[in-house]
A and B are shown apart, each in its own frame.
Chain A
Amino acid sequence: MNTWIAIILAAVAVYSWKIIGAYVPQRLMEKPVIARIAGLLTVALMAGLIGIQGFTSGGQLHADARIPALVVAGLLTWRKAPFIVMVAAAAVVAWVLRAYLGWA
């Protein structure tokens, strides 16, 4: 599939929820089971992405400088650091470990 087509399809797909919410009867969206799945989906997909982005590389398990970077990111998030500071700090930790300490 072409990347452009994927971008357009994904944008339409994301927008579709906003439209559905604005037009479908309120009762349907507020069923507890639907609301629960929706909330947990967000959590599960993001957690899955942390796993993929943090601990795998090219489809293989892979532990490297990203792990200490993630620990720092977690600590900073817990200490309520701004999002961009936390993300930049993670990059710096990984970069320093690789460039100066020879980590993978």
Chain B
Amino acid sequence: MPNAVSRRLTTSLVCVMLAFVTLSAVHAQDLKSFEQRTTVKILSNGLTLIICERHEAPVFSYTTLVDAGDVDDPSGESGLAHMFEHLAFKGTSEIGTTDYAEEKVALAKVEAANDAYEGEFLKPGGGDPQKLAELQKVFLAAQTDAEKYVIPNQFTEVAEENGAEGLNAETALDDTEYYWSMPENRLELWAWMESSRLADTVPREFYKERDVVMEERRMSVDSDPMGRLFEQFLATAFVAHNYGRSNIGWPSEVSQITATEAMAFHKKYYVGGNIVVAIVGDVDAKTDLPMLEKYFSRVPGGPKPEDMTTVEPSQFAEKSVVIREQTQPFYIEGYHRPNILNPDDAVYDAISDIMSNGRVSRLYRSLVEQQQIAAEAASFSPYPGEKHPSLFAFYAYPLPGHTPAEIRDAIHKEIEKLKTVDVTDEELEMYKTCARADLLRGLADNQGLANSLAAYQARYGDWRQMFLELDRVDKVTKADIRRVANQIFVASNRTSAEIDTESRAAETKKARGAQ
């Protein structure tokens, strides 16, 4: 390193100490102030409500976290949790229908017609074409009949008309989150809407929505080079665990999911004990809690369903994926690591921060600035989920003229350094300072805060872990980093994936030459 570095480090060390003192004080104060304005109530059906008062403006944000995601999709039904999430926007027996009693009968006919069609379609050989055509006619007629009772998108329209902002949902492998923000005088309206859709989902317009999800798959996976690569990367890294399964669903599976299956998923997983609802903003826990309790008690009770029990076996063979196509080159590699409840979780965060946080990070300085072989280089962890044992990944985009092989070697050199030489005091302090500042910065955003509170409550059983996490951060040592790096960054624990543009070009040339 040039000597300028040591000079500037003396200056920055003083500042680090200063920042440390201030931030620690703020951390303690903040947890205390947060405890004063945060109320947790577990309802009799098991549902957890968290209310965090923040009276800066007359608005609130919420996150509903259902602790079930695509990792919980039954075998052969990948994409089910996500498919259900789409259904949760279709309304209830009260909203989105002109006559639910009639609609219910019509929907049962749709389901029967779909079963008959798919029964034929799934026969070996793909079924009899003539029969299929007839069955499809019956199915389409049943669908048209059921649509007579539908007021399309009424649920979301009522929300948007009442000022819902950022209305959306996300289904991850681990869990499903629903969220939006609203003016505070719509709190009761929201409580009615949210509790209704959790408790009283109707499998309305299911089969058209399945087509929409197939389009979503084309957009995010099939027509996107990175989407394709990541799907293959995970499918290769995991042999037993559902983290290796496409979370939007394999085409043949997601295209065959039925409304009956989606409703069975709902019945099993959308129970009080599996749901956390966090509300942040201009609300008053004392006066609003009875109202919230009234509405959210409508969610069916029930204990938390058991988690997926498959454990990914230890990897003993290095694996790699090579995609040859016209896309520009890319390289990624991942190593199995434990889930976030592991005592070393903060050590993984420290490694990721030191390797890739900003222009001072090791990967940026080495691959981007000094060697000039990559446009971007970083690590991230845990991926693709955090509830179960997951991956620690490194990736880089090579500069024109440089190959994935060069990238791999350069990343391995940096990993080797982590294993053999202690990180510096300054690097470790930077990580700790940033961790504290990031926590603080996040406190001024209602929606971000609602997400964090719900997530920490679901993962650790206590939202306070959001602050207590800093104690784990403080305890990380240089020796921890070396120990963990030596444990997991080994070849037999590695899966890599790359896009190989050059070979593709060569193959095309060869093919042309042969013609």
> Do A and B come from the same complex?
no
Which B residues fall within an 8 A CB radius of A? none
